[in-house]
Amino acid sequence: MAPKKPIYVTQPELPPLEEFLPYLQKIWDARVLTNGGPFHAMLEAALCDHLGVKHISLFTNATIALVTALQALRIGGEVITTPYSFVATAHSLMWNGVKPVFVDVDPETLNMDPARIEAAITPQTTAIMPIHCYGTPCDVEAIQRIADDYNLKVIYDAAHAFGVRREEGGEQRSVLHHGDLSVLSFHATKVFNTFEGGAIICPDAKTKQRIDHLKNFGFVNETTVVATGINGKMSEFNAALGLAQLKHIDAAIARRGAIEARYRELLRDVPGVRMLERPAGVTPNHSYFPILVGPGYALGRDGLYRSLREHGVMARRYFYPLISDFPMYRGLPSADAARLPVARAASDQVLCLPIYPALANEDVERIAAIVAAGAVATPLPMPLAA
Ligand code: T4K
C-alpha cells in the first residue's frame, strides 16, 4: 500500500487550470506583463468591491508592502509592535531604520494588549504596528484611542485578515478600515493567494497615489521621480490569478469554517488543549487553526508536534520562536522575556493544525484523534497508511 502523502499546515487553493488559461492567453496576446496593466487595474477594482474598501494598492508581497507603508507615512524613531508574529512584521521596521518596541499580547486573542501599548510610549514613538493575529481583529477602538491621544499612526499588519469583518454600528464592516493603513498578504499560504502578492488598503485617493508612486521607484511620469521608491509592483500574471481566485473565495472560506467547526467539536473536551475564542460579532476567515497545548497535556506541545509528524501531519508552531528572540532583536530592552510573559507562554504552547479547503473530513478526524491520544500519553500506533 502506498504511504499516505504528508499533510501540511496548509495547501494553496488554485482555480481549475482551464479557468486560468484564458487569462494567460490575454497576457500572451497583449504582451503587457507588469507596470500597472489591465489585470492589475481589474484586480484592484474587484478587491475593493469584494472587501468593501475604497482604495487598494497591489504589491508583489506583504513584506514589501509593509516596508512601503512605513515609508508612505514617513515613520521613524520607535514603533510599538508585537513579538508574536511572523518576522516580516518587525523586519519591515528595521528596513526603515525604525526601532521596534515589543509589548506583550492579550491572553485571549494573542493580539497586542492596548494597556501595554500606552505604557511603552516614549517621545520617540511615532506609530503602532499591531497584527490581527490568525485573522482575529485587534481591539481596534482602544488602539485608535491611544493613537489619537498621543498623535501616533497605526499601521495594521493584516496579512491574516483577508475578508474579516466585524460588527460596527449594527452592520458588518471590513476590519481593514481601521488604522491609517492596513497591509494584506496574498502569499501561497494565505486564505486568498496570487502565488505571491500583497496589498495596502488606503484611506483616500491621495494616499493611494503616493503609495502607487512609491511602489514604482517613485516615478510619476517618464521623467519625474518624487521619492526614493522601490519596485513593489504586482505582475499581470499574479493579478490575473487573483481575479480567477476571487470567484472561488467564498466557497473556500466556507469550507475552512466547516473544518474549524469539526476540529472544535472533536477537541472540545481534550484535557490540556485550549482553543482561542473570537470576540463577538466577528465574521472570520478561518485562516489558521491554532491550539494552545498547556501544562495539563501529557505529551506536551513539542511531543504532540513530533507525534503528528510521525503520522505525516506537518503542524506548525506559528509563532515560535518569538520575533524578540531572534538575534537581531534579542538585545533590545523590550525583548526581555520577563516583559513578555503572555507572548512567551503562547509561543511555547501554540500549534497550528492543518486547515485548508481540500483537507478531507477523515483527515480532520485523524488529526484530532492524534491530538486527543497525546493528552493521555498514548500516542496512536504507527504507521498510517492510505
Ligand atoms: N505578516 C504576517 C503576520 C505574516 O504571517 C506574513 C507571512 C507576512 C507579514 C509576510 O507576508 P508575505 O511577504 O509572505 O506576503 C509562511 C509564509 O511563507 C509566510 O508568507 C507566512 N506569513 C508565514 C506565516 O508562513 P513558512 O516559512 O512557514 O512557509 P513554508 O514554505 O514552510 O510553508 C508552510 C507550508 O505550506 C509548507 O510546509 C507546505 C505548504 N505550502 C507552502 C508553499 C509556499 C504549499 O503547499 N505550497 C506552497 O507553495 O512561512
Given a contact cutoff of 8 angstroms between Cβ atoms, the answer to whether 105 and 275 are in contact is: no
At 377 the pLDDT is 74
Mean pLDDT of 307-313: 97
Nearest ligand 1 atom to alpha carbon 66: 9
Q: 174-230 pLDDT, tens per residue?
A: 999 999 999 999 999 999 999 999 999 999 999 999 999 999 999 999 999 999 999
At 379 the pLDDT is 58
Q: 6-38 pLDDT, tens per residue?
A: 999 999 999 999 999 999 999 999 999 999 999
Query: What angle is formed at CA 202 by the lines to CA 180 and CA 244, rounded to 5 degrees?
Result: 135
CA-nearest residue, atom 16 of ligand 1: 189
Percentage above 90 pLDDT, the chain: 96
Nearest ligand 1 atom to alpha carbon 157: 1
At 386 the pLDDT is 40
At 381 the pLDDT is 62
At 147 the pLDDT is 98
CA-nearest residue, atom 29 of ligand 1: 189
The position carrying cell 532583536 is 329
HSE-CB at 299 with a 13 A cutoff on CA atoms is 23
- Split at pLDDT 50, 70, 90, the class of 385 is very low
Rounded distance from Cα 89 to ligand 1 centre (Å): 13
At 1 the pLDDT is 47
Dist CA 134 CA 72 (whole Å)? 26
Cell of 195: 502565488
Ligand 1 binding site (Cβ under 6 Å of any ligand atom): 8-12, 61-63, 85-86, 88-89, 131, 157, 159-160, 185, 187-189, 198, 314, 316, 318
The beta-strand segments (E) located in the chain are: 7-8, 55-59, 78-81, 99-102, 125-129, 153-157, 165-168, 171-174, 181-185, 198-202, 273-275, 282-283, 289-293, 313-314, 350-353
CB-CB neighbours of 282 under 10 Å: 17
Q: 51-109 pLDDT, tens per residue?
A: 999 999 999 999 999 999 999 999 999 999 999 999 999 999 999 999 999 999 999 99
Q: 121-166 pLDDT, tens per residue?
A: 999 999 999 999 999 999 999 999 999 999 999 999 999 999 999 9
**pTM reported for the whole predicted model:** 0.96
Q: 240-288 pLDDT, tens per residue?
A: 999 999 999 999 999 999 999 999 999 999 999 999 999 999 999 999 9
According to DSSP, residue 278 is labeled: P
